[in-house]
Amino acid sequence: MTSSLLRPRRRIHEDTVDRRVVAGSTAPTRILDWPDRRVTALAERAASTASARHPESVENPGKVENPVSTEGTMNAQDPSIAGDAVRRVQVLRTAHRLIATAVRPVYSVQDERPTSQVLRLGRGSCSQRLAVLEAVARASGVATRVRGLLLDGAFWYPRFPHLRRIVPDQVVLAWPEFHLTGPSTGEHPMAHWLTVAELFGNLDELSNGPGGGFTNTGPETLFEALSRTAIDWDGTTLCPTTDARTACDLSGYVLADLGHFGSRDELFARHGQTLCRVARLVAEPVLGRHSAGAR
């Protein structure tokens, strides 16, 4: 049993799903307030750290092996495009590691909290830390957009085994995508997009990694897990395990694909946050400080 009382009054129906082709943007938003010095400093640190660790991508961009072999994610035929995409991926991977270290994972329910505030507090939910990664990307000149997913609340049962009755029955998830070659008006808006699930490799490669799939238990959140295993919302992969609890295929939890949005601000404005305003005000002081995996 899950709770619908804590959810906003509006309910998502299939006829509200947005099927537009969305080009994404590098512009700041209320949530992705990347002009803030905290965000730009993190972006600068990610760029300098990535450059120091991978100087070959700067000196010989055409000779660097493409680190992401997803379907049409980047044009490996053009060395300049491939090299630029490689550099962007390395910066985003570095930013992910820096965020994982600097921002403590908690159960915050304020999905619309600006990224500058998340960095100031030094703690954030999986959704908030993904937003910080998006903000760093935009600050670095990488356009982003999000795919909206409506997930079954049962996905969070393992994390809240004794609180199932108050877990929302539906959860809105903003899943980021990055435009590797930067903003462009001369190409199809679907070209060269990289989902955050494939930031550290394609799903097939990640599904064969050690440790199995994401179990949504303990200190590891979706944010950490995507760097080591496949987070597959579409049912295209299967981790080599006979235990369904550690499988990479998470498509069974997807109630609806809400389509793409130019920003998470647009997604939440259209479909609302997971909890109603009153529930967020009551829950945030407690959950917003409670570390993921803590008992």
Least confident of 38-42, 78-82, 104-108, 143-147: 78-82
Q: Is the pLDDT of residue 73 over 50?
A: no
Q: Give phi and psi for 255, each to the nearest 5.
A: -85, -35
Q: Cα dist. 140→26, 41, 245, 265, 273 in Å?
A: 9, 11, 37, 19, 27
pLDDT band at 102 (very low <50, low <70, confident <90, very high): very high
Q: Is the pLDDT of residue 293 over 70?
A: no
- Is residue 293 within 8 A of residue 28, CB to CB? The reply is no
Q: Is the pLDDT of residue 98 over 50?
A: yes
Q: Is the pLDDT of residue 212 over 60?
A: yes
Quick one: pLDDT at residue 79? Answer: 52
Report DSSP state, residue 290.
S
Q: Region 163-181: what's the mean pLDDT?
A: 86
Q: Is the pLDDT of residue 132 over 50?
A: yes
Best CA proximity match to 174, nearest among 91, 260, 276? 260
Quick one: pLDDT at residue 67? Answer: 45
High-pLDDT (> 70) share of the chain, % = 71
Q: Is the pLDDT of residue 123 over 60?
A: yes
Q: For residue range 242-252, what is the model confidence (pLDDT) as tens digits?
A: 565 567 999 99
Q: Which two tokens stand for residue 50?
A: 């990535």
- The SS3 of residue 249 is strand
Quick one: pLDDT at residue 122? Answer: 96
Q: Give phi and psi for 277, each to the nearest 5.
A: -60, -45
Which contacts (CB < 8 Å, 24+ apart) does range 190-194 have?
Answer: 190/21, 191/72, 191/75, 192/72, 192/73, 192/74, 192/75, 192/81, 192/85, 193/24, 193/73, 193/145, 194/68, 194/70, 194/73, 194/74, 194/89
Q: Measured between alpha carbons, how far is 198 from 204 in angstroms, rounded to an integer?
A: 10
The partner residues of 175 in beta bridges, in order of sequence, read: 147
Higher pLDDT pick, 10 / 229: 229
Other C-beta atoms lying within 10 Å of the C-beta of residue 286: 10
Q: For residue range 12-59, what is the model confidence (pLDDT) as tens digits?
A: 444 455 567 788 999 999 999 999 999 999 999 999 999 988 765 544
Computed over every residue of the chain, the mean pLDDT equals: 79
Q: DSSP for 269-280, please give it.
A: HHH--SS-HHHH
- Is residue 193 within 8 A of residue 186, CB to CB? The reply is no
